[in-house]
Structure 1
Amino acid sequence: MEHKKDLSRRAFLQQAGISGIALTIGYYWPAIGKSAGEIVCADDVTELMSWISIDVTGKVTIFNHRSEMGQGTWQAIPQIIAEELEVSMDQVNIQYVAAHPSKYGPQPTEGSFSVRGWYQQLLRVGASAREMLIEAAAKQWRVNPSECYAENGEVVHRGTGKRLSYGVLVKDAAQLKPPVDVKLKERKDYNIIGKPLHRKDAALKTNGTAMFGLDKKLPGMLYAVVERSPRFRGKVKSFDDSATRSVKGVKHVFKVRRPVFDIWCEGVAVVADSLWAAMQGRKLLKVEWDDTGFEHLSSEQIHARMQEDLNKFSSPESFETALKDSSAAIEAIYEMPYQSHSCMEPLNCIADVKDNSIEIWGPIQEATWVQADLSERLHVPIANVKVNMTFLGGGFGRKAFLDYPHEAALISKQIKAPVQVMWTREDDMSAGPFRSGALYRCRGGVDAQKKIFALQIVSAAQYFGAGADKHPEPQVLKENTGGIAGIIYDYYKTVPHFSFGSVPIKAPIPTMWWRAPGANTDAFACECFIDELAHLAKQDPLAFRRAHFAFGRYQALVDKLAEISNWKTRRKNDGWGVAITECFGSMVGQVVKVSRSPNLRIDKVFALIDCGWYVNPDTIRAQIEGSIIMALGAALNHATHFEEGRTVERNFHSYPMPRMNEIPEIEVHIMENDEKPGGVGEPGLPAFAPALCNAIFDLTGKRVRKLPFRLEDLT
């Protein structure tokens, strides 16, 4: 949005005061109302609540406080508010808000939390605004508010049929004190929640009007690219910029750094009046790097270190006894690779730093985190740090990190001008942070009743951070302790003897979140090994899982998954695989069918999610489909490798994305129940890879225990 064309929005952001009380009950409650002296009226628009403004024509603007990176919050948050406000989505305009934690609470978009963590507050926002409008109408008509109701952006008097639009009522309503207690609708009475409404951002993204970070421009803005060390902790020893400065348009060349956890990564910034000039100048830059003081590891060395560290676990004697007492036991090693985030939109950020203020624009996944970080590091009052979100062309956790906005701010401060810092695809894929690879040792046994009697899964991987500098201490496991991400929680209750553990390996590679963190690797080993135990017990893999689920909700998921996939029609060596995982409050079951025709191919994926209360089924289906495609790429297409401390894969020619002709048919179903909402954006990913590998075993008798792999190698 350009400032000159958006005066009402600008006035809102500049004038909107903080009112009400922000209560901390596990998370912030929204500030939902203003006293008479704090009403914001600009260009015939009144801000009724923190999330809502209404103009004189009755047009409703609902402000989205969370980033939109494809997961659907742009639609879901307003859809929740609009339901209780009694307006249709056709009457609603949606706008981003800048970071404002005291007004909107925390604004990070992570953990599939936007709906499951906020739905009650957002419902109350809509309901409170509705009741204030009803009260304003009742005062005009001099009737009891109980005689009035709201529908379709109007308040109606039951006795006379009189109607007043929200646009007429909003200024009077804004003078009122928001109700403390409001009655929310029952689910059966919803008009728009739970309905497959078209997403309002879809049109913007197809007609080219949606503003992504790369689209934003400021008057007088310069462009910067940064030459980065090919090794993660390399320092700038010296640089020669004589040829770089000869490029027309190049304005500045200087050393810059960015924080990667507790490590400062250095580079040389080239700033120009166009992106092309900056990129051409960088090609001519000569930098000598200091690569001392840290290891230059290859993937083979990292793998060997993982194998070594797996031997540092000390298993409890009670578990070893249980394993020996099992009727049958097996052991397996599973391996997962490092992965890049590789969002379709590479990292970018605009910063405008002045003497005592900072303003940021860009694809920011964690606006309030960026605001707080810049305030602390650059010693600027947090009230003077404004972080504006644009649409994100993918995030997957990478755009939740704080390094790229901080780097942009430092460059802007140095040149005393607004600057857009652009990361090329090679920058983005080689600098990290990455999803860590992992090695898993799985051991287990079944009893005479064909159920799991003992289960142990231990892993060696890099922990979240800049990379460990010390070898880990030996890990002592205890029986029936520890956890593994993605596992169905009932296993903790129904498996008599278990022990889970992990050890951080020593490596200087920065690692962080990747979609469905933890579960995206743990679930592969866990659900594949559960399948191995089912075959050890000579049990149907789906029935074997159900036998370990005590909670009726899990059993219902299994029964529905069997129904939608026609599981009972499967035959021996037919190529069917199943996996059931749980993360961020949602359970997902997937059945994958494979065949030879004549080469091994994926025929179809059945996916079933139990996410409880939900907003938009179309968004859920899109997220599950996208998660499965991303999981397919990580299972079959790409991985990140290292040679002498450098990333090997630097662009899509060596890190290939799945092509349309590689995508199987995907059929998504949603469980209907009255449970609390779970996440949607991430839980669909972990189950695919194990379900696929279990299907391949069912067809070929070959266990796939290492990702990625090639289907053609298994024919």
Structure 2
Amino acid sequence: MNTDSKKISRRNFLRLSGMTGASLTIGFYLPALAKDLPALLTPEEAVAQGIELTAWVTIDKSGKVTIYSHRAEMGQGAYQTIPQIVAEELEVDLNKIAVEFAQGSQTKYGSQITGGSSTVRGGFKSMLRAGATAREMLIAAAAAGWNVQTAECYAENGTVIHRSTGRKAGYGDLVEAASRLPLPKEVKLKERKDYKLIGKPLPRLDNPAKINGSAVFGIDKTLPGLLYAVVERSPRFHGKIKTLDDKKARAVKGVKDIIRVEMPVFAATRHGVAVIADNFWTAQKARKLLSIEWDDSGIELMGTEQLFARMHSDLAKPGLTQKAQGDAGRILGNAEKKLEAVYETPYESHSAMEPLNCTAHYTDDRIEVWGPIQGPDWIQQDLATKYKLPMEKVIVNMTFLGGGFGRKAFTDYTYEAVAISKAIKAPVQVIWTREDDMTQGPFRPGAVYGCQASLIGDRVNALQIKLAAQNMDHQWAPVPDKLDYNRSTTEGLLEPYFAGIPHYRFADIPTESPIPVMWWRSVYSSTNSFAFESFWDEMALAAGKDPVEFRKSHISPDHERYYALLDRIVTMSGWSKRGKNEGWGIAFAECFGSIVGEVVKVSKKGENGISIDKVYAAVDCGWYVNPDIIRAQVEGSIVMALGAATIHATNFMEGKAVETNFHQYRMPRIQDIPPVEVEIMDNEEKPGGVGEPSLPPFAPALCNAIFDLTGKRIRKLPFNINNV
């Protein structure tokens, strides 16, 4: 193509010279407000248009393929699925691909947030097109060199082959010629039946590095002159420093400085004292010698009982309607056959195995951070705004994450590290201890649900569910709009139910509390589904119907996808062959573009205990990439749900978190984990999420199974499974 010389500055000329010829690079131009698929560009086209190229696929002269992962890898498999998608259309050996984390840049990559199960569902088409475009350009380069038609050539295993003569050319030999070709306007993508990589249970590319220890997590980052910091923060979210005596701490050998830190969190400020030293252990030793008196004036010093008493009393309020049809209130008020139940779910800590940490280096005209960051584009924007720097002057580097669950998408811990670096004029790594991570929050909000239903015969005529809980969105403004309803009040409920119930109302009452809360794996679905699916079981019992058939009767037959899932979970679990002395429970959830059904089978253990014999999960996530990763995510979700249902919760006393470490907030151990069988539906639906949708159905399925076995209805979590 011809490049407009007027647009080529010296800098752009150097960029262009370095990117063409030596490699074939296919990138994207993604305007921030683009609604369509991003445009594919070569480096030459990008420079001509004054655009910074998003490099997702690069092939050099040696034939080495590098793919840039624009999403975080926190165990959910982005590091594997993105290359597996691109390699399918690029026709290369997946094991010969180098994967690098992309830096934070929303203008390049669009949303980079790893949350909402959005990595594959948000970018699969662009990734497929990138691989296919590079392949077609390499084929075109080979065909031109051989003076044959492109239709006579095909690509396989990093090589272009001429069909009739068997002539071959490796990708490395073709990149220089291919890099000078115009991008094809359209490329034909494979049909699913022709996939060689997608849909296959291929070993993860990050396994070797994580096994041999070479994988770089946030805490592994080192820099010349790096210092280390720990922060003693207010034990209550809004507390301020009243007095500080740091003489003993400063006397510890290796301590470099002790400073006060103010950290924006939502619309408030979290106060703390940072101890900076030449290593973490020295900083932590000195921290324990600080003497701080905190000013907690004006803070509601609430405990767990007070919090939940407030939520229960809030249920008496009308609430803010999110979704309604008909006149549920009037129907319920006049109902002859009416059911009522109240469900309660606890506050929870994220408790990722890798506590928060961030390495930051602030200079006069630039900020650079490294760490386990779930939303690199959010961090870049947040730091650029708060420090009044151009976006390109804020460099956000991702490392591997040892779990995130939403917590590492927040912006507080990265800002804090930059603030300390700025104050001490040196690079610093701020490490949160397990106690910091577990007591500071933000937490999954506790919730109370008031459920009412009326039945006519064996069908639901009216349904009302009110949620009393903190609204996460209300924290972002100093004076929030209290009439702004919770848009996640129906999250988790199967969509066809809305058409199957004549009268319904879903509402929330935003409970007032000083406890900081935020998204936790599957967000409100994790609490909503316990109420929704437990109450469906209660309604089925009142209607005298099998729980599966009762659900089916409220779903129109034209929803074939839902019927197929219900039939699959029934068949795989042997639901129709349930024994008399066994407890069986079933539950479903729809969130993040996927539908999941789970069956839990239980039996009695000892005098009052319950044993979970097996968990069955059927997952409809539409178009998918790697079934092994899906099964791992489902199993992990069930383990996390088991902990939240039967083992741990975050409690508060006088406004402070009680649980400080795993001796109090116990994780499920291997002996606690039941066998889990997972089946994945095959269909042509759009890809949905995998990392979150399998968590919500477990708790209601378990409690429904316990009722089936014992006749005892569990409406409050967590409960002691050894004393039911």
- Alpha-carbon distance, 1:19 to partner: 7.5
- Counterpart amino acid of 1:497? H
For the pair 1:519 / 2:525, whether they are aligned, the reply is yes
Match of 2:138?
A: 133
Instruction: Tell me, in whole angstroms, the C-alpha distance in 1 between the residues paired with 2:362 and 2:402.
Output: 25
Match of 2:381?
A: 372
- Counterpart amino acid of 2:655? G
Instruction: Tell me, in whole angstroms, the C-alpha distance in 2 between the residues paired with 1:51 and 1:490.
Output: 39
- Alpha-carbon distance, 1:385 to partner: 0.7
> Which of residues 191, 194, 199 is equivalent to 1:189?
194
For the pair 1:687 / 2:697, whether they are aligned, the reply is yes
Instruction: Tell me, in whole angstroms, the C-alpha distance in 2 between the residues paired with 1:245 and 1:48.
Output: 48
Match of 2:571?
A: 563
- Unpaired stretches in structure 1, ≥5 consecutive residues: 1-7, 40-46
C-alpha spacing 1:597/1:366, structure 2 compared with 1 (3 Å): same
Instruction: Tell me, in whole angstroms, the C-alpha distance in 1 between the residues paired with 2:315 and 2:41.
Output: 52
> Which of residues 330, 335, 345 is equivalent to 2:344?
335
Match of 1:264?
A: 269
Match of 1:294?
A: 299
For the pair 1:657 / 2:667, whether they are aligned, the reply is yes
CA-to-aligned-CA distance 1:667-714 (integer Å, 9 cap, x gap): 000011111110001001000000000000000000000000001221
For the pair 1:554 / 2:559, whether they are aligned, the reply is no
Match of 1:669?
A: 679
Q: How does 1:113-512 map to 2 (within 5 A)?
A: 113-313=118-318, 318-323=327-332, 326=335, 328-448=337-457, 450-465=458-473, 467=475, 483-512=489-518
Match of 1:584?
A: 592
For the pair 1:531 / 2:537, whether they are aligned, the reply is yes
C-alpha spacing 1:555/1:281, structure 2 compared with 1 (3 Å): same
CA-to-aligned-CA distance 1:106-127 (integer Å, 9 cap, x gap): 2111110000111011100101
Instruction: Tell me, in whole angstroms, the C-alpha distance in 2 between the residues paired with 1:482 and 1:118.
Output: 24
Q: Does the aligned pair in 1 maintain the 2:451–2:464 contact within 8 Å?
A: yes
C-alpha spacing 1:466/1:286, structure 2 compared with 1 (3 Å): farther
Instruction: Tell me, in whole angstroms, the C-alpha distance in 2 between the residues paired with 1:83 and 1:416.
Output: 47
Instruction: Tell me, in whole angstroms, the C-alpha distance in 1 between the residues paired with 2:392 and 2:669.
Output: 46
- Alpha-carbon distance, 1:238 to partner: 2.5
Instruction: Tell me, in whole angstroms, the C-alpha distance in 2 between the residues paired with 1:213 and 1:19.
Output: 27
Match of 1:76?
A: 81
CA-to-aligned-CA distance 1:213-259 (integer Å, 9 cap, x gap): 11111111000000011111101122111101100000010101111
Q: Does the aligned pair in 1 maintain the 2:237–2:515 contact within 8 Å?
A: yes
Instruction: Tell me, in whole angstroms, the C-alpha distance in 2 between the residues paired with 1:115 and 1:514.
Output: 20
Instruction: Tell me, in whole angstroms, the C-alpha distance in 1 between the residues paired with 2:39 and 2:569.
Output: 39
Report the secondary structure of 2:274's partner residue. Answer: strand
Q: Does the aligned pair in 2 maintain the 1:80–1:615 contact within 8 Å?
A: yes
| TM-score under structure 2 length normalisation | 0.92
Match of 1:42?
A: none
Q: Any runs of at least 4 consecutive aligned residues in structure 1 with deviations exceeding 6 A, and if so which?
A: 15-20, 314-317, 468-477
C-alpha spacing 1:622/1:206, structure 2 compared with 1 (3 Å): same
Instruction: Tell me, in whole angstroms, the C-alpha distance in 2 between the residues paired with 1:466 and 1:713.
Output: 38
C-alpha spacing 1:421/1:28, structure 2 compared with 1 (3 Å): farther
RMSD: 2.5
Instruction: Tell me, in whole angstroms, the C-alpha distance in 1 between the residues paired with 2:338 and 2:258.
Output: 63
Instruction: Tell me, in whole angstroms, the C-alpha distance in 2 between the residues paired with 1:37 and 1:484.
Output: 44
CA-to-aligned-CA distance 1:573-600 (integer Å, 9 cap, x gap): 5200000110001000000000013331
Instruction: Tell me, in whole angstroms, the C-alpha distance in 1 between the residues paired with 2:139 and 2:107.
Output: 28
- Alpha-carbon distance, 1:345 to partner: 0.2
Instruction: Tell me, in whole angstroms, the C-alpha distance in 2 between the residues paired with 1:422 and 1:387.
Output: 17
Instruction: Tell me, in whole angstroms, the C-alpha distance in 2 between the residues paired with 1:364 and 1:232.
Output: 23
Instruction: Tell me, in whole angstroms, the C-alpha distance in 1 between the residues paired with 2:718 and 2:549.
Output: 28
Report the secondary structure of 2:630's partner residue. Answer: helix
Instruction: Tell me, in whole angstroms, the C-alpha distance in 2 between the residues paired with 1:137 and 1:476.
Output: 59
CA-to-aligned-CA distance 1:546-599 (integer Å, 9 cap, x gap): 111221110110011110001110144520000011000100000000001333
Aligned positions, number: 692
Instruction: Tell me, in whole angstroms, the C-alpha distance in 1 between the residues paired with 2:379 and 2:405.
Output: 17
Q: Does the aligned pair in 2 maintain the 1:524–1:690 contact within 8 Å?
A: yes
- Alpha-carbon distance, 1:60 to partner: 1.0
Q: Does the aligned pair in 2 maintain the 1:639–1:708 contact within 8 Å?
A: yes
For the pair 1:593 / 2:606, whether they are aligned, the reply is no
**Which deviates further from its counterpart, 86-95 or 409-418?**
86-95
- Alpha-carbon distance, 1:132 to partner: 1.1
Report the secondary structure of 1:614's partner residue. Answer: coil
Instruction: Tell me, in whole angstroms, the C-alpha distance in 2 between the residues paired with 1:218 and 1:288.
Output: 35
Q: Does the aligned pair in 1 maintain the 2:153–2:162 contact within 8 Å?
A: yes
Instruction: Tell me, in whole angstroms, the C-alpha distance in 1 between the residues paired with 2:488 and 2:271.
Output: 38
Instruction: Tell me, in whole angstroms, the C-alpha distance in 2 between the residues paired with 1:475 and 1:346.
Output: 33
Percent identical across equivalent pairs?
A: 53
- Counterpart amino acid of 1:613? W
Q: Does the aligned pair in 1 maintain the 2:589–2:697 contact within 8 Å?
A: yes
CA-to-aligned-CA distance 1:415-439 (integer Å, 9 cap, x gap): 1111000000000011110000000
- Alpha-carbon distance, 1:100 to partner: 2.5
CA-to-aligned-CA distance 1:505-561 (integer Å, 9 cap, x gap): 111111100000110000000000000000001111111111112211101100111
> Which of residues 634, 638, 642 is equivalent to 1:628?
638
- Alpha-carbon distance, 1:171 to partner: 2.0
- Counterpart amino acid of 2:100? Q
